[in-house]
Amino acid sequence: MQKQLTEEDLKNMSPEEIAKLQQQNCIFCKIISGEVASKKIYEDEKCLAILDINPANPGHILLLTKKHFQVMPQVPDKIISHLFSNVKFLSKCALKGIQAEGTNIVVANGMAAGQKAPHFMIHIIPRKEGDGLDFDLKKTQIPEKNQEILRKKIRQKTNELFGIVDKESANLNSKPAKIEQKVVDAEFTEKQSTDKKKTEEKQDSQEKQSEGKSSKQQKASSKTSAEGKKPNLDKISGLFG
């Protein structure tokens, strides 16, 4: 007979021991091991797909991870990718196999989201027009100010997890001064460079214009000087009668 665990026993257990205990008491782990019978649809080394014994609609499929995970954040990326690749395949099978007109793909991630058993799974629910299954999401109105607060909080955590650094994420992480200064300095430096280039081009243009005027004046002066030096033949002929 298995010993009844107390709260004190649970407090003294390591995370690994707790995970093992959860697995031992998980009905879906027993289904995966074959200890409990199920209506199997598909199986590979990472997952098992079975028919739900209490379906939302006929053909309701549960896709289970073979290793025990409670919620999605615990599932490694490679397994998540594998699961959703199979979801695509199983959804198509439901559409073609029982002539479903659509499917709902549902993950109840945590008790607050309606998760009933502590084992991560994905629901593939076949749909038909007028089947009476209500999946309409409640519509709520949230003030613009509150929406912006929510957006910033989620964006901050998204940037942290994806390793994204941008101007807004820097502001959200309370480091605006340094990054903002870089932006300002870059803009100021670029403006200085542009202004300097324009000034140099203007000076070159003025110098060329000045050189052009000087050259014309020199030519005019040379012409006047040459005309001044030219002998007056009328005066000379008068001197010699």
**Whether 89 and 155 share a structural domain:** no
Please say if the pLDDT value at position 98 is more than 50.
yes
State how far the Cα of 90 lies from the Cα of 153, in Å rounded to an integer: 35
Q: With cut-offs at 50, 70 and 90, classify the pLDDT of residue 154.
A: very high
pLDDT in tens, 199-219: 677 677 766 666 665 565 565
Strand-pairing partners, residue 49, are 42, 63
How many domains is the chain built from?
2
The answer to the question of residue 38 being in a domain is yes
pTM for this entry: 0.64
The amino acid sitting at 63 is L
**Whether 77 and 180 share a structural domain:** no
Please say if the pLDDT value at position 185 is more than 80.
no
For the chain, the residue count is: 241
**Whether 44 and 120 share a structural domain:** yes
pLDDT score of 196:
63
The answer to the question of residue 66 being in a domain is yes
pLDDT score of 94:
94
pLDDT score of 81:
97
Please say if the pLDDT value at position 113 is more than 70.
yes
Query: Are 177 and 157 a contacting pair, CB within 8 Å?
Result: no
Q: Which of 88-102, 146-160, 191-205, 212-226 has the lowest mean pLDDT?
A: 212-226
pLDDT in tens, 1-22: 455 656 666 567 776 776 677 7
**Whether 183 and 83 share a structural domain:** no
| CATH of residue 49 | 3.30.428.10
Instruction: For residues 154-169, give the mean pLDDT.
Output: 86
Q: With cut-offs at 50, 70 and 90, classify the pLDDT of residue 240.
A: very low
**Whether 16 and 122 share a structural domain:** yes
The answer to the question of residue 210 being in a domain is no
The answer to the question of residue 83 being in a domain is yes
pLDDT in tens, 25-67: 899 999 999 999 999 999 999 999 999 999 999 999 999 999 9
Report residue 58 as tokens: 């006929």
**Whether 60 and 165 share a structural domain:** no
The amino acid sitting at 47 is C
Query: Are 58 and 98 a contacting pair, CB within 8 Å?
Result: yes
Query: Are 16 and 68 a contacting pair, CB within 8 Å?
Result: no
Q: Residue 156's domain spans which residues?
A: 150-198
Contacts of 47 by beta carbon, 8 Å cutoff, 6+ apart = 63, 64, 65, 66, 79, 82, 83, 86
Of 112, 127, 142, which residue sits at a domain end? 127
pLDDT score of 236:
42
pLDDT score of 14:
75
The answer to the question of residue 238 being in a domain is no
pLDDT score of 134:
87
CA atoms within 13 A on the CB side of 177: 0
